[in-house]
Amino acid sequence: MKYLLLICGEESVEVSPEQADPEPWIEETERRGVRLDGHRLCPVSDATTVRAGLVTQGPFAETKEQIGGFDIIECADLDEAIEIALKHPVASFGSIEVRPFWPE
């Protein structure tokens, strides 16, 4: 099953480059063959929201945590997806939302 990992955190939180380095996680998930895609996103200040025909600058919601990136993984089940998300470096200072894709 495919899962979307929404990588979330507060832009104001300062972490060391080592703490935030995704490379070891990316290497492990690609070695295991579970990571299909993923990217960092530009800062929330670059976001544009479209809602009910209105276009506004800024994030989709008023919240401290913002989506900073995403990963698409393919796992046997939710337990494996959670295990992979827990190893993501952002899980130590932000949050990872694990959401299944709608079945085809």
55 burial (CB, 10 Å; 0-12 / 13-18 / 19+) is exposed
Those residues whose C-beta lies under 8 Å from the C-beta of residue 25, and which sit 6 or more positions away, are 87, 88, 89
The structure's pTM equals 0.87
pLDDT value at residue 58: 63
Instruction: Render pLDDT for 48-98 as a digit per residue (tens, 0 to 9).
Output: 888 787 777 665 555 678 899 999 999 999 999 999 999 999 999 999 999
DSSP bridge pairs for 73 = 3, 35
Instruction: Render pLDDT for 9-59 as a digit per residue (tens, 0 to 9).
Output: 988 888 998 998 999 999 999 999 999 999 999 988 898 888 787 777 665
Q: Which domains does the chain have, with CATH numbers?
A: 2-100 (3.30.70.1060)
